[in-house]
Amino acid sequence: MSPVPLRVRLRYVARRAGWPALAGLALLGAAAAMEFGPLPAAQEKLGALRASIAKARTQRNAPERGTADAASLLAALPGRDVLESSIAAIHQAAAAQGLVTTGAEYRARKETGGEMLRYEISLPLRGGYAALRAWLAELRNQQPALAIDELSLHRTTAEAAQLEGRLRLVLFLRARPVAVAATGGAVAPAPTLPTSQFAAATGDLFATRSWQPPPPPPPPASKPKAPPLPFKYTGKLIEDKAIRVFLTQGDTTTLVAAGDTLGNYDIERVTTASVVLLFRPLQEKQTLNFGGYD
C-alpha cells in the first residue's frame, strides 16, 4: 500500500471539516502574525534602550575619574618653591653643553582654578646643534614638568657651525602659598656711658715741648667704594604686572623684586632694563644693566 501524499490528506481534511475549520486556521495564522510580527522591532528598541543606559552610566562615572586623574596629576607636579632651582638647573645644563642662554624672559600665568601655575620661559640660544639636542634631552629627563612649546633656529651662513634661535619652554608648578619668614626687629646698639662735658684733659704738665710748627697732616684716605657686583643677570619674570629678575651668584640663582634683600645688598628698584641695588655697608647704590627700555 503506497503512502498518501500530504497535500491529498490536507485536502481531504479540509473537505471533511468544511469552511469553519478553514476560517479557524486563517484566524489562528492572523493571531500568530500579530503576536510575533513586532518582535524584531521590540528587540531592536530594547537593545537601543540598554545601550543608552550603559552610556549614561559611563558619562556619570567619567567626571569622577577625570577629577581623580586631575588630582593625581596636580599632586605629581613640583611646588612653587622650586622655581628658582628649576631655572638655575636650565641655565647650568646649557652652560655645561657650551650653549649661551642669557637674556631670558619669564611670564607667569595661573591656570583655571588657581591650583596650577604656568611659567612661560623664552630663551635666546646660541651654540652647536649636537649640544642643543643633548641639552634638551637632559632637560626632559631631569624635569618632567617642563614642556618644549616652540623652537626656532637659523644659521648666519650655510657653513656656520653655530646656531642661533629662540626656545620657548613651559614649566608647570603646583601653586603653594609662600611662607614669608618673619623678620626680627633691628638689634639696638649697646648703650655707652655718658662722658662728662667738664672732664679735664689728661697729660704731663712738665713734659718737653717743641716750638717747631707741627708737620702737615697726612692726606685724607680715599673714600672706600663698594666692590663690583657679584651677580649675573639670568632673566626676568613678569607676573601680575610686577617685574622680578633672576640673579645668579656662583651656582645659586635667586628671584628678586624691589624691596628684597640679597646678602649685603638691598634691591631698591627693578625695571625691564636694569636693577638698582644698595650696598648696605657703604650705603652706595649700584646698577646692573641688562638691556631693554625702562
The reply to whether 237 and 164 lie within a common domain is no
DSSP code at position 170: E
The reply to whether 57 and 85 lie within a common domain is no
pLDDT score at 283: 92
pLDDT score at 210: 59
The reply to whether 114 and 71 lie within a common domain is no
pLDDT score at 280: 92
State yes or no: pLDDT of 31 exceeds 70. Answer: no
pLDDT band at 193 (very low <50, low <70, confident <90, very high): very low
Of residues 120 and 75, more confidently modeled? 120
Q: Assess if residue 161 is contained within a domain.
A: yes
Q: Assess if residue 208 is contained within a domain.
A: no
Those residues whose C-beta lies under 8 Å from the C-beta of residue 209, and which sit 6 or more positions away, are none
Q: What is the mean pLDDT of residues 25-50?
A: 67
pLDDT score at 180: 44
The reply to whether 67 and 136 lie within a common domain is no
The reply to whether 56 and 84 lie within a common domain is no
Whole-angstrom distance, CA of residue 27 vs CA of residue 39: 19
The reply to whether 71 and 103 lie within a common domain is no
Which residues constitute the domain of residue 149?
80-174
The reply to whether 155 and 86 lie within a common domain is yes
* Residue 294 identity: D
Q: Which CATH number covers residue 257? A: 2.30.30
Q: What is the mean pLDDT of residues 202-228?
A: 70
The reply to whether 108 and 137 lie within a common domain is yes
Q: Quick one: three-class SS letters along 43-96?
A: HHHHHHHHHHHHHHHHHHHHHHHHHHHHHHHHHHCCEHHHHHHHHHHHHHHHHH
For 105-116, give one letter per residue: b (16+ CB within 10 A) or e.
bbebeeeeeeeb
Q: Assess if residue 183 is contained within a domain.
A: no
Q: Which CATH number covers residue 152? A: 3.30.70.60
pLDDT band at 108 (very low <50, low <70, confident <90, very high): confident
pLDDT score at 264: 92
Q: What is the mean pLDDT of the chain?
A: 77
Q: Using alpha carbons only, how large is the chain's radius of gyration in Å?
A: 44
The reply to whether 51 and 99 lie within a common domain is no
The reply to whether 95 and 134 lie within a common domain is yes
The reply to whether 91 and 162 lie within a common domain is yes
Q: What is the mean pLDDT of residues 110-137?
A: 86
Q: What is the mean pLDDT of residues 106-129?
A: 84
Q: Assess if residue 200 is contained within a domain.
A: no
Structural domain count of the chain: 3
Q: Assess if residue 139 is contained within a domain.
A: yes
pLDDT digits (tens, 9 = 90+) for 225-272: 889 999 999 888 888 778 899 999 888 889 999 999 999 999 999 998
Q: Assess if residue 29 is contained within a domain.
A: yes
Q: Assess if residue 260 is contained within a domain.
A: yes
The reply to whether 87 and 69 lie within a common domain is no
Q: Assess if residue 92 is contained within a domain.
A: yes
